[in-house]
Amino acid sequence: MEKKFLTGTKLSNPKQSIHSGAGGSTIQTTTGEKKPTGQNKQGQQQQQKNERLADKEKSSEERLAEVEIYPIERVHLDRVFELMSTAAPNKSKEDKGYITADDIAKILLDLKFKMSRAEIELMIWV
């Protein structure tokens, strides 16, 4: 590997040398230990930033698929879904198994909370 010396870099130990390459710059001691310089740290920070951006670009369905649901949670979620999806008595065959605005309206009415159909549709993004 070709040795390059940076101007203006003061080494704390005269037995250290600076090496530059595709993976960033490192300081190598006589014991062979390599310490990353600021450029390599910047590369790591950039990689972490890119990973965070990739997470932000995931849809809500993709993020939800990554969440681990424990068996006890699954039982209760299924129970709530069943209650909500069968709240409205007059559902078409296409809507069976789905939570509709009518289901939400019926549940809210049972809880003595009045909300307009438009507000409910906005709430569940119909």
Cross-strand pairs, 28:
17, 34
Whether the Cβ atoms of residue 34 and residue 20 lie closer than 8 Å to each other: no
In the chain, where are the structural domains located? Answer: 1-67, 71-124
Helix (H, G, I), strand (E, B) or coil at 34: strand
Q: pLDDT per residue over 22-33, tens digit each? A: 555 555 555 555
Is the pLDDT assigned to residue 36 strictly greater than 50?
Answer: yes
Global pTM exceeds 0.75: no
Q: Which two tokens stand for residue 76?
A: 């209760």
